[in-house]
């Protein structure tokens, strides 16, 4: 047995005014036209369902046998439906109330606040390293930091001929954190400038200056770890950033230190020291948010003429 649950509310027709008013007649005809259009559409769908097994947009049943469920309509051949109160309640909740369940899956979600611990939210991130020492040929030019090792691959990649471009698949606001291992072989204190270049142009107010001490001795350089986190806005998909550096003396370099093998009474095993470690992680969509229109139908409530359109 198929139970068709299709309810219509007759339009609230106004009473006749004491004097003729063409606008009132137009409104009356418009209300009636809307109502009859709904009836015509209902009868057409019902005829298709009974004759051809076509789709119908409001069926209530407890057990569904055959066919497919497709979005807001149940598409199936004319078959057996029983009491379907549970699913009907779920459909109603999707439209007007809250949904509580174990697994809720979808491709696009539109709405306001998200509540939860967020442990399974997947956002773009990556970490890159360099396992080679890098030097500056002079102090007059900016130097690119090369990142030839990729630790993860989720929406952020390294591109460019020399592995210098941190490229974001999707636009958004991102954190960039770098940890750079510098050494100084000169007998003077030196400075190091480090900044961000966005799509080939220096990113305003992104520079940090560090000072590295003089060498310990002629054969033992001094060391410095330069660490900074900066947030930036990737305006377009596939935008990229590069990390630039410039020392005050070419005696300063990015140094890769190989792993140390344990020696009894002298040293334990020590992992290798990358010359550069750079992390990139997604923070948020751009602000202000672009207007997104949900691919949802228009729902009308109450009497004819009172239609609410909801977009996000």
What is the band of 210 on the pLDDT scale with cuts at 50, 70, 90?
very high
d(CA 137, CA 11): 82
Asked if residue 79 lies in contact with residue 67, where contact means CB atoms within 8 angstroms, the answer is yes
Q: What is the pLDDT of residue 298?
A: 44
Provide the residue ranges of all domains of the chain, joining segments of one domain with +: 3-102, 125-284
For residues 199-215, average pLDDT: 96
Lowest mean pLDDT among 11-15, 24-28, 151-155: 11-15
94 versus 265: which is more confidently predicted?
A: 265
**Is 147 a residue whose pLDDT tops 80?**
yes
Instruction: Say yes or no to pLDDT of 16 above 80.
Output: no
What is the chain's length? 312
- pLDDT for 42 equals 77
pLDDT bin (cut points 50, 70, 90) of residue 246 is very high
Is residue 91 classed exposed, middle or buried when 0-12, 13-18 and 19+ CB atoms within 10 A define those classes? Answer: middle
Cα–Cα distance for residue pair 256/180, rounded to 1 Å: 10
Q: Which residues lie below 8 Å from residue 233, measured CB to CB, with a gap of 6+? A: 172, 173, 174, 286
* Each residue's pLDDT tens digit, 52-92: 655 555 544 433 444 444 444 444 444 444 444 555 555 55
| Residue 31 predicted with pLDDT over 60 | yes
For residue 142, what are the contacts with CB-CB under 8 A and spacing of at least 6? 197, 244, 245, 246
User: Has residue 6 got a pLDDT over 70?
Assistant: no
Check residue 161 and report its DSSP letter.
T
The span from the CA of 191 to the CA of 61, in Å, is 75
- 206 to each of 94, 115, 232, how far by Cα in Å? 46, 34, 9
* pTM, full prediction: 0.61
Share of the chain above pLDDT 70, in %: 68
Neighbouring-strand partners of residue 223 = 183
CATH code of the domain made up of 125-284: 2.60.120.40
Burial class for 214, CB neighbours closer than 10 Å (0-12, 13-18, 19+) = middle
**pLDDT at 207 exceeding the cut of 90:** yes
pLDDT at 50: 65
Return the pLDDT at 72: 45
Q: Which residue has the tokens 């050494």?
A: 183
Q: pLDDT higher for 250 or 102?
A: 250
């Amino acid at each position: 047995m198929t139970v068709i649950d299709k309810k219509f509310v007759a339009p609230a027709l106004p009473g006749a005014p004491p004097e003729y008013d063409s606008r009132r007649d137009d409104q009356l005809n418009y209300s009636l036209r809307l109502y009859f259009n709904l009836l015509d559409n209902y009868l057409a769908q019902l005829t298709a369902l009974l004759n051809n097994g076509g789709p119908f947009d409001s069926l209530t049943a407890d057990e569904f046998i055959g066919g497919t469920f497709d979005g807001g309509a149940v598409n199936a051949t004319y078959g057996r439906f029983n009491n379907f109160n549970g699913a009907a309640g779920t459909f109603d909740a999707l439209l007007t109330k809250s949904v509580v369940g174990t697994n809720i899956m979808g491709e696009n979600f539109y709405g306001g606040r998200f509540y939860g611990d967020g442990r399974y939210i997947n956002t773009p991130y990556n970490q890159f390293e360099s396992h080679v020492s890098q030097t500056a040929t002079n102090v007059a030019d900016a130097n690119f930091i090369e990142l030839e090792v990729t630790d993860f691959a989720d929406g952020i990649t390294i591109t460019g001929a020399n592995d210098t471009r941190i490229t974001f698949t999707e636009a958004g606001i991102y954190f960039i954190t770098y940890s750079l291992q510098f050494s100084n072989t000169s007998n003077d204190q030196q400075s190091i400038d480090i900044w961000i270049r966005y799509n080939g142009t220096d990113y305003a107010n992104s520079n940090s200056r560090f000072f590295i001490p003089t060498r310990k001795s002629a054969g033992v350089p001094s060391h410095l770890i330069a660490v900074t986190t900066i947030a930036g806005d990737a305006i377009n998909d596939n935008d990229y950033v590069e990390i630039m550096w410039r020392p005050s003396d070419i005696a300063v370099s990015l140094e890769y230190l190989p792993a140390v093998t344990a020696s009894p009474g002298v040293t334990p095993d020590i992992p290798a020291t990358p010359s550069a470690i750079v992390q990139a992680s997604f923070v948020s969509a751009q602000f202000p948010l672009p207007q997104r229109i949900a691919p949802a139908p228009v729902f009308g409530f109450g009497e004819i003429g009172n239609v609410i359109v909801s977009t996000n």
